[in-house]
Amino acid sequence: MKDESGGLKEWVIPFAFVLCAGWVIWHGPAYILDFIPHSDESKLAQMTALHQVKDVTPGLPGLFGGLADPIDWIALLLVPVTFIMGMRSIVPAAMEFVPVRAVDKFALFIGRITMILIISMTLIMLYEVFLRYAIEAPTLWANELTLWIAGFVFMLSGIYAMQQRSHIRIFILYDIMPRFAKKLCDTVWVLLLWAFAFFLVFGSYKQVFIVKFYRWEMFGTAFDPPIPATIQPMILITICLISIQAMINLIADWNVEPESHSAADDIDEEELAAIKKSVGAS
């Protein structure tokens, strides 16, 4: 029997990945101190104190002489495991771009992760609204956690949108070009994207990875999440993944005849039918 999209495993596995990845990110100082410890004693002490404050399981001893405890190691090992399981469990939905190759399942699973993050963000906001207005006991963390998750949603959705070819494109001139000119345009814009990614990473990787990430810069609030330490590196990682996906799309679509576009493409037949039904039109 053929699997259908939206099955239970396409919810459970991305949720498990988000939990494991969230645990790993929150305990970032422990991994940094275990794998690439600071040589500066003051920074080493600062990072150690930060880990002690943020550690969710302070009672557990670290493994292998480090700060990361058994749960930290299990979460770290489960991140690639759940990601691979998620890629293998992907069943494309009817509205998603086809055909789907094995390499496309990376971006498709990213889309499923984004879905879970959006749901999580919505639940957090609803929880905060309930606490704030129903029992007048607002949290210190809901707003910043929502902001933090939204940053990841914004970036991860870009990878998925690139794979789905759903990014904004203007076809007025493109559609009237001969096939060889269309291929030339496709190649040029991919090269321009790669150039942009190269100069962005080259110009900012020291500031991002050495200053923000390696020092685990926090947000500086009561909740104090590591937004600078995680979002800024994720920007560089995302632009690299989008560039790679753009090249994959270029290769995959090289011998595929591009679709023609018209004003009729902007008409959503289902939405039009719903509007007619709501006003009683036949």
* pLDDT surpassing 70 at residue 74: yes
Q: Between residues 91 and 127, which one has the greater pLDDT?
A: 127
What is the pLDDT averaged over residues 40-66? 91
Joined together, the tokens standing for residue 200 give 């962005």
Distance separating alpha carbons of residues 45 and 52, to the nearest angstrom: 11
Each residue's pLDDT tens digit, 148-185: 999 999 999 999 999 998 888 788 888 888 989 999 99
Of the candidates 136, 137, 80, 83, the residue with the CA atom closest to the CA atom of residue 107 = 83
Any domain includes 4: yes
State the maximum Cα–Cα separation within the chain, in Å, rounded to a whole number.
77
Any domain includes 53: yes
Distance separating alpha carbons of residues 219 and 216, to the nearest angstrom: 10
Any domain includes 82: yes
Report CA-CA distances (Å) from 264 to 17, 215, 259, 273.
40, 53, 13, 15
What domain count does the chain have? 1
DSSP sequence for the chain: ----TT-THHHHHHHHHHHHHHHHHHTHHHHHHHHS--SSHHHHHHHHHHHHHH-S-TTSPPSTTSS--HHHHHHHHHHHHHHHHHHHT----TTS-SS--GGGHHHHHHHHHHHHHHHHHHHHHHHHHHHHHTSS---SSHHHHHHHHHHHHHHHHHHHHHHTT-S----TTGGGS-HHHHHHHHHHHHHHHHHHHHHHHHHHHIIIIIIIITTT----SSS---HHHHHHHHHHHHHHHHHHHHHHHHHHTTTSPPPP--GGGG--HHHHHHHHHHTT--
* pLDDT surpassing 80 at residue 132: yes
Any domain includes 243: no
Any domain includes 227: no
* pLDDT surpassing 80 at residue 275: no
Any domain includes 135: no
Domain that holds residue 61: 1-91
Any domain includes 72: yes
In contact, 102 and 109? CB cutoff 8 Å: no
Each residue's pLDDT tens digit, 94-118: 888 877 788 899 999 999 999 999 9
In contact, 67 and 45? CB cutoff 8 Å: no
Each residue's pLDDT tens digit, 187-240: 999 999 999 999 999 999 999 999 999 999 999 998 999 999 999 999 999 999
Joined together, the tokens standing for residue 11 give 């919810």
- pLDDT of 1: 42
Any domain includes 102: no
Determine which of 33-42, 109-118, 242-251 has the lowest per-residue pLDDT on average. Answer: 33-42
- pLDDT of 102: 85
The pTM of this model reads 0.88
Distance separating alpha carbons of residues 70 and 75, to the nearest angstrom: 9
- pLDDT of 264: 58
Determine which of 2-6, 31-35, 132-136, 233-237 has the lowest per-residue pLDDT on average. Answer: 2-6
Residues in CB range of 97: below 8 A, 6 or more apart: 163, 164, 165, 166
